[in-house]
Amino acid sequence: MNTFYVTTPIYYVNAKPHLGHAYTTIVADSLSRFNRLMGRHSYFLTGTDEHGDKIVQAAGKAGLSTEKYVDEISGMFRAIWPRLGVRNDDFIRTTEDRHIACVQSMLQRVYDKGDIYFGEYGGFYCTGCERFYTEKELEDGVCPQHRVEPTFIAEKNYFFRMSRHQGWLLEHIRKNPDFIRPEGYRNEVVSLLESGALEDLCISRPKNRLSWGIELPFDHDYVCYVWFDALINYISALGGAGSEMYNRFWPSAQHVVAKDILKPHAIFWPTMLRAAGLEPYRHLNVHGYWLAREAKMSKSLGNVVEPLDMVERYGLAAFRYFLLREMHFGGDSSFSEEGLVARLNADLANDLGNLFSRVLSMNAKYFQGIVPVPEEMEARDKELRDLAEKSLKNFIEHYDRIKFSNALEALWELVRGINRYIDASAPWTLFKENNTARLATVLYTALEAMRKVALCLWSVMPEASETMLHELGGAFDEKGFRLSEEVGLWGGLAPGVRAAASSNLFPRVELSVTEDGKKSSLPVKGRKNIQTGLSKEMSAETRPSSSEALSPVDIDDFKKLDLRVGTVVQAAKCQDADKLLLLQVDLGEDSPRQIVAGLAEFYSPDELVGRQVVVLSNLKPRDLRGVRSHGMALAVRDASGLNLLAPWNEVENGSRLS
Ligand code: MSP
């Protein structure tokens, strides 16, 4: 299939855009760019959700007419995206005529098929969620998301016969295991569907209670329920079912949402489509929450992070890179400026920026900035070429499976590989020895590998990627580059072109705390008045402790530790323990070892399967939350989180560390 259609949720206009909205939209943008690089025709939609009680209330609070209020906040969303490097093809608002017409035609279609009926209903309504809750779903009488007591409402309304499609939906999910991904969310939906009869969905509101909505085409006294209205945006933006754009893009539709709106997307939407006689979307990609101070970011909790503040302080490339690298898609992540700064300094300034700076300045010094003509490749050059091939292949595979963090990890294997290659090839010595032929090959090999890195990064940090390609003497050509063809290709960089003489892509920054307690960042070079440097929490965790901190041990003491390498053959979340994962690790023994590890915040079960880890295998077995754990997987913690240790290259399972 050569098309790709990606959407974000349409955001409620009751709050300004924050980091959570920015993340989902950057993910969708990144997917759209990646698919373009892969040669697919991509179409990317975002927009705003403007009907419902919640919006009317917010407008009232702001002292504005609802129309004026929705225009204002929708405008803020529309305006922020280009500043975050987001390039959407369309922006839909649910108050637009094209959407209203499409919703009415869908309603009529489902009504004509007999899947909408009139009835009476009483339920607990949470305005925050814009949905009814059953008594069972409430926690201590309050909405589990907003922690407020919902209002009991009983009235006559129209209902969508959602229950009729429950069997079909379950079957569809079973037959298409990646319909909802990652797996944890699919399982959640399957158990919800298996756990009992799905209730029909109330899809109207009487106009005498709420008039801010789309009128039902078959009853002028009612408006459409906001979720039934909102979900249809994914089709109305294409011009409605049967339009040319619909026929072209709908079969490849992928939605990106967070787990808060799993149910409407995984259950309401596919059954609505089914009832209207339309094909289901292809994938629902569900991510976790960005937490700030341990809680989901939200306006009501006052812990929102402003994306533009972060961009202003750390730059767009670092911000986007951090979001995509830090969150393991599916799980929750904590946002902290310390974490962002740590990644910026380590991955971008040290690894990538430094690589560009040193190789380009060597090329300027040794070849006057002209990309040299390489001679015959030696083993070390071929090794780097093979690493580039492997790394790009992995990058693509992970991206296609929405594993951005792993994709970037795979790409950084190449970045670090090029740095090692330069160290090992020592161009400065070749220069001293007048070995120009070898020097040319070494610099060309590094520059060509750097070009590949820069190209992949167009999905993540488009502007910086274009700068890198420019520095390498080329220009970004969206139509010309094909990432899939790059995998086995070597020599895309034309010798003879002029590359930049220097590069300063990602200066290191240091986080400082100002007198009023606010954080700010300053580039390390030329900074003035840095006050406290990194925060206490950060320095305690990441500053390497001095060797005096622990008393010396004998080699015999060390030998008591049986450290072995094994492969994770199975991984799953531990029931009732959010932070724990249950691993089965093949240590070359008769059967895999069961290890319970506190990794769930940092790794999803599926990304661990197949990976090698280092295990302290003679740790006495113990029970964690009632589950036997025999061994400990070793990891290192820094400000960016937890990093599992693994051997450089794959080794035989059971190999002992020495
Ligand atoms: N209007 C509905 C969606 C209708 S789609 C047909 C809605 N809007 S919302 O403004 O509340 O946006 C929710 C979405 O914003 C989440 O699903 C997620 O994409 C993003 N996020 C908001 N806060 C978030 C976090 N703290 N963390 C991650 N994403 C979050 O629901």
> Model confidence over 151-185: pLDDT tens digits?
998 889 999 999 999 999 999 999 999 999 999 99
* Tokens 């990058």 -> residue: 395
Question: At residue 531, does pLDDT exceed 80?
Answer: no
Among 189-198, 483-492, 497-506, 524-533, where is mean pLDDT lowest?
A: 524-533
30 pLDDT band, cuts 50/70/90, is: very high
Per the structure, the complete domain to which residue 92 belongs is given by 3-287
- Residue 511 is assigned to a structural domain of this protein: no
What pLDDT does residue 523 have?
Answer: 63
- Residue 186 is assigned to a structural domain of this protein: yes
**pLDDT (tens digit per residue) in 416-462:** 999 999 999 999 999 999 999 999 999 999 999 999 999 999 999 99
- Residue 586 is assigned to a structural domain of this protein: yes
Tokens of 301: 């909790």
Ligand 1, residues 7, 11, 145: which to mutate, most atoms within 8 A of Cβ? Answer: 11
Among 308-312, 353-357, 406-410, 508-512, where is mean pLDDT lowest?
A: 508-512
Q: Are residues 318 and 428 in the same domain?
A: yes
Q: Are residues 330 and 401 in the same domain?
A: yes
**pLDDT (tens digit per residue) in 184-217:** 999 999 999 999 879 899 999 999 988 999 999 9
Question: At residue 288, does pLDDT exceed 60?
Answer: yes
Q: Distance between CA atoms of 308 and 81, rounded to whole angstroms?
A: 10
Question: In the chain, what percentage of residues exceed pLDDT 70?
Answer: 93
Question: At residue 359, does pLDDT exceed 50?
Answer: yes
For 147, what's the count of Cα atoms within 13 Å in the CB-facing half-sphere?
4
Q: Are residues 372 and 426 in the same domain?
A: yes
Question: At residue 287, does pLDDT exceed 90?
Answer: yes
The values of phi and psi at residue 299, to 5°, are: -60, -40
Residue nearest to atom 29 of ligand 1 (CA): 20
Question: At residue 598, does pLDDT exceed 50?
Answer: yes
Ligand 1: nearest atom to the Cα of 8:
19
Q: Are residues 252 and 318 in the same domain?
A: no
Among 281-290, 324-333, 637-646, where is mean pLDDT lowest?
A: 637-646
- Residue 571 is assigned to a structural domain of this protein: yes
Last residue of a domain, one of 287, 321, 346: 287
Of the candidates 225, 238, 223, the one whose C-alpha atom is nearest the C-alpha of residue 279 is: 238
Of the candidates 282, 269, 244, the one whose C-alpha atom is nearest the C-alpha of residue 31 is: 282
Q: Are residues 18 and 129 in the same domain?
A: yes
Residue nearest to atom 25 of ligand 1 (CA): 20
Tell me how far the alpha carbon of residue 544 lies from the centroid of ligand 1, in angstroms: 39
Q: What is the DSSP letter of 84?
A: T
- Residue 526 is assigned to a structural domain of this protein: no
Q: Are 611 and 568 in contact (CB under 8 A)?
A: yes
What pLDDT does residue 99 have?
Answer: 98
Q: Which helix (H) or strand (E) holds 256?
A: strand 253-258
Q: Distance between CA atoms of 24 and 19, rounded to whole angstroms?
A: 9
Q: Indicate the length of the chain as a whole number.
A: 658
Ligand 1, residues 6, 14, 23: which to mutate, most atoms within 8 A of Cβ? Answer: 23
Question: At residue 530, does pLDDT exceed 80?
Answer: no
Among 138-147, 237-246, 385-394, 437-446, where is mean pLDDT lowest?
A: 138-147
Question: At residue 522, does pLDDT exceed 90?
Answer: no
Catalytic residue set: 18, 21, 126, 129, 143, 146, 296, 299
Q: Which helix (H) or strand (E) holds 395?
A: helix 379-400
Q: Are residues 241 and 378 in the same domain?
A: no
Tell me how far the alpha carbon of residue 599 lies from the centroid of ligand 1, in angstroms: 26
Domain count, the chain: 3
Read off the pLDDT of each residue in 249-269 and give the average, rounded to a whole number.
Answer: 98
Among 99-103, 583-587, 612-616, 645-649, where is mean pLDDT lowest?
A: 645-649
What pLDDT does residue 480 have?
Answer: 83
Tell me how far the alpha carbon of residue 649 lies from the centroid of ligand 1, in angstroms: 40
Residue nearest to atom 8 of ligand 1 (CA): 11
- The CATH number covering residue 266 comes to 3.40.50.620
Q: Are residues 554 and 469 in the same domain?
A: no
What pLDDT does residue 540 have?
Answer: 29
- The CATH number covering residue 559 comes to 2.40.50.140
- The CATH number covering residue 346 comes to 1.10.730.10
More reliable by pLDDT, 498 or 543: 498
Q: Are residues 331 and 208 in the same domain?
A: no
273 pLDDT band, cuts 50/70/90, is: very high
Question: At residue 60, does pLDDT exceed 60?
Answer: yes
Read off the pLDDT of each residue in 13-24 and give the average, rounded to a whole number.
Answer: 94
What pLDDT does residue 613 have?
Answer: 93
Among 8-12, 473-477, 542-546, where is mean pLDDT lowest?
A: 542-546
Tell me how far the alpha carbon of residue 260 lies from the centroid of ligand 1, in angstroms: 7
Q: Checking DSSP bridges between strand 635-638 and strand 641-644, what pairing results, if any?
A: antiparallel
Among 43-47, 151-155, 527-531, 636-640, where is mean pLDDT lowest?
A: 527-531
Question: At residue 606, does pLDDT exceed 80?
Answer: no
Q: Are residues 145 and 187 in the same domain?
A: yes
Question: At residue 307, does pLDDT exceed 60?
Answer: yes
Tokens of 506: 């990602």
Last residue of a domain, one of 287, 321, 355: 287
Read off the pLDDT of each residue in 350-367 and give the average, rounded to a whole number.
Answer: 96
Sign of the alpha-carbon dihedral angle for 383, 386, 388, 394: negative
Which residues, listed in sequence order, are joined to residue 509 by a DSSP beta bridge? 523
171: Cβ–Cβ under 8 A, 6 or more apart, which residues?
none
- Average of per-residue pLDDT values in the chain: 90
Q: Distance between CA atoms of 451 and 356, rounded to whole angstroms?
A: 10
What pLDDT does residue 639 have?
Answer: 57
Ligand 1: nearest atom to the Cα of 288:
28
Of the candidates 165, 148, 149, 160, the one whose C-alpha atom is nearest the C-alpha of residue 121 is: 160
Q: Are residues 372 and 280 in the same domain?
A: no
Residue by residue, what is the 3-state secondary structure of 313-373? HHCHHHHHHHHHHHCCCCCCEECCHHHHHHHHHHHHHHHHHHHHHHHHHHHHHHHCCECCC
Ligand 1: nearest atom to the Cα of 9:
5
Residue nearest to atom 18 of ligand 1 (CA): 258
Ligand 1: nearest atom to the Cα of 234:
6
Question: At residue 641, does pLDDT exceed 90?
Answer: no
Ligand 1: nearest atom to the Cα of 291:
26
Tell me how far the alpha carbon of residue 259 lies from the centroid of ligand 1, in angstroms: 9
Residues near ligand 1 (Cβ within 6 A): 9-12, 20-21, 23-24, 49, 230-231, 233, 257-258, 260-261, 289-290, 296-297
- Residue 304 is assigned to a structural domain of this protein: no
The residue type at 120: E
Q: Are residues 54 and 167 in the same domain?
A: yes
Question: At residue 226, does pLDDT exceed 60?
Answer: yes
Tell me how far the alpha carbon of residue 411 lies from the centroid of ligand 1, in angstroms: 29
Tell me how far the alpha carbon of residue 14 lies from the centroid of ligand 1, in angstroms: 12
Last residue of a domain, one of 471, 486, 501: 486
Question: At residue 372, does pLDDT exceed 90?
Answer: yes
- Residue 514 is assigned to a structural domain of this protein: no
Question: At residue 541, does pLDDT exceed 60?
Answer: no
Q: Are residues 442 and 542 in the same domain?
A: no
More reliable by pLDDT, 136 or 275: 275
| Maximum Cα interatomic distance, the chain, rounded to a whole number of Å | 90
529 pLDDT band, cuts 50/70/90, is: very low
Q: Is the peptide bond before 182 cis (omega within 30 degrees of 0)?
A: yes
Ligand 1, residues 13, 21, 268: which to mutate, most atoms within 8 A of Cβ? Answer: 21
What pLDDT does residue 513 have?
Answer: 61
- Residue 491 is assigned to a structural domain of this protein: no
